Structure 1
Amino acid sequence: MIIIRFPDSASSQKLQNLSGKQKEIYNELDNSLTMFEYDTTFQLLFEINLRENIIDAALKLKEASVAFTSFKYSRFNPVYWTKVPTGYLLNSNVLPSDAINDIYENGQEYAFECSTAMVVIFYKAVLDSIRLPDFNYLFRGLLVWNWNYDPDLAIITLEGNEFIPGDVVYFMNPDFDKPIWRGENAVVLGNGLYYGHGIGIGTAEEMIKALNTLRKNGSTTSAFMLQQHSRLNFKYLSQFAK
C-alpha cells in the first residue's frame, strides 16, 4: 500500500502517466501488504526510477563480460582500484563515478562473486539516479567486495517474502560443494525473473535448480530462497536526486 502525506498535482500527473517497468513497480508497491510511506509524491517517483535503474544496471552487468570467481582469483582494473586484504579500494586519483562506470565499460578487466555484483549494481543505479557531484562526494574512498559498502548507500535488509522489483534476494545452498556456491544473491527483475551473477537470468525454480547442480555428491537437501530481501534507503537517497 502506498501512502503519500503531501501529494502535489504535478507529480501526481506523472504517476498517472507511468508505463512499462515503472508502472509494474508502482503496482507492486501499491498492491503490497507492506505500507510504503512517502512525504511527497516526488519521493515515490524517485524510488520507482531508482528501482528501474537497479534492474537496468543488473541487465547491463550481465552483458558486461565480468567473470565470476572468488576473492583469491578476483581482479579489478588497476587503473581505478587497488586490491587490499578486505576488498578493492578506490585509487585516490580517480572519481568514484568513473570507477563504477569502468566496470560496465571494461567488464573483461573484472572478476568477482555475486554479492559484490549486487553492490556494484546498486552503485551503478544510484550513479544514474542522483547528481554526479553528490555521487562523487558521498562515495569517495570506496571499498568494494562482498557486502562491504559505503554507509551512504544505505542498504536495508528486511525479513519477509513481499519483495518488489529492484530488491535483492538470496537463494541459499546448504549442501554446497565449493564455498563460492553456498548461495546466490539475485536482483528481482519482475515478472517472476531474477538476475544472479554467475547463474544469469531465471525464475526462482531455475535458480534453485542451478544451485542444486552445485551441491556435494549425494546431497538431497535442496537450495531454497531465504525469506528476506535487501533494498536501498530510497527516501534518504531522494534528497540527492537529479
Structure 2
Amino acid sequence: MISVKGQILQNVPFQLSIRQQVIFNALKKSENVHRYDTIYLLAFDLMLREKIIEASLKLYESNIKFAPFKISKFNTAFWIKTPSGYRLRPNVRPSDAIRDIYTNSHMYAFECSTAIVIIYYYAVLQVINEQAFNQLFSQLLVWNWSYDEDLRIITRVGTDFIPGDVLYFHNPDYADPVWLGENVVMLDDHTYFGHGIGVGPAEYIIQGLNTLRKPNATRSAYLLSQYSRLDFRYLAQFSNM
C-alpha cells in the first residue's frame, strides 16, 4: 500500500512513464505500507527507482566485463587502484568519473557488488543536482560494497520486493568465492539483472549460479529474503526535479 500524508493513495496526480507505472503498481500491491510525507517524495522515489533500472540495463548493454579484483580494471585517467579498491584521482569530478564508466565501458572490469554500487551512483547522478553530487561524493572509493555514507543504502530482512530494489541470490556450494552469490537489481515483477550472469527471471539467475558450483554440489542457489534500497528521503533534498 501507498500512504501519502497518512492517506492511502490509489492514483497519482501526475503522469507516469510505463516503467514508473510498474513500480507504482508494485508499491500499491505491497502488503507493507510505503509511507511518504508528500506526493513529491513519492514522485522522487518512483523516478529514482526508474533510473536504477535504466542504469542496470545500460550497464548490461555496455562492454564492461566481469572480473575479480586481481584482474579488474578501471580507466586510469579517472581512478587509482589501491589495495582496498579504486580511488578517485585528485582534481577529478566524481560526476565525470561515474559517467566515464558508462562512456568508456570497454576500459572497465569488475564484479557484481561493485556493479551495484556503480549503478546506484549513476542513478543518483541522474536525479540530484550535479554540484551536490560532486560535494557529497568527493572522496569516492569503489570496490565491492565500499561506498560513501551519503549514498545511504538501507538493507532489510523480508520479501517486500519492489522494482529498483537490490536482491541477493546465495550460492552455498560455490566453486570460486567470487561466485558465492549474485547481487541483482529487480527490473520488474519477473526479471532481474546481475552483472556476470545477465538478465532473466529468478530461475535463469539460479541456473547460472548452479553452473558455477563445486563438483558434486548438492545445494542449489536461492534467493535470500532480504532487499536493499536507497534512502530516497535523504537524497530528495538534493533533487533536480
Partners of 1:6 and 1:82 lie apart in 2 by: 48
Q: 1:42 Cα shift?
A: 0.3
Partner of 1:106: 104
Partners of 1:156 and 1:53 lie apart in 2 by: 17
Please list the CA deviations of residues 16-62 of structure 1 after superposition, one character each: whole Å capped at 9, or x if unmatched: x3241101101111111111111110000000000000000000001
SS of 1:156's equivalent in the other structure is strand
Partners of 1:49 and 1:188 lie apart in 2 by: 15
Please list the CA deviations of residues 95-122 of structure 1 after superposition, one character each: whole Å capped at 9, or x if unmatched: 0000000000001111100000000000
Partner of 2:74: 76
1:27 to 21, 25, 32: 25
Partner of 1:5: 5
Partners of 2:139 and 2:76 lie apart in 1 by: 15
1:118 to 103, 111, 116: 116
Q: Unaligned 5+ residue runs, structure 1?
A: none
1:192 to 190, 200, 212: 190
Q: Unaligned 5+ residue runs, structure 2?
A: none
Is this contact kept in 2: 1:158–1:230, CA < 8 A? yes
Runs of 4+, deviation exceeding 6 Å: none
Partners of 1:187 and 1:148 lie apart in 2 by: 18
Q: How many residues are matched?
A: 237
1:236 to 228, 234, 237: 234
Q: 1:181 Cα shift?
A: 0.7
Is this contact kept in 1: 2:6–2:35, CA < 8 A? no
Partners of 2:89 and 2:170 lie apart in 1 by: 34
Task: State the percentage of identical aligned residues.
Answer: 54
Considering only aligned residues, what root-mean-square deviation do their CA atoms show, in Å? Answer: 1.3
1:201 to 195, 199, 202: 199
Partners of 2:90 and 2:6 lie apart in 1 by: 42
Partners of 1:131 and 1:30 lie apart in 2 by: 29
Is this contact kept in 2: 1:6–1:40, CA < 8 A? no
Partner of 1:142: 140
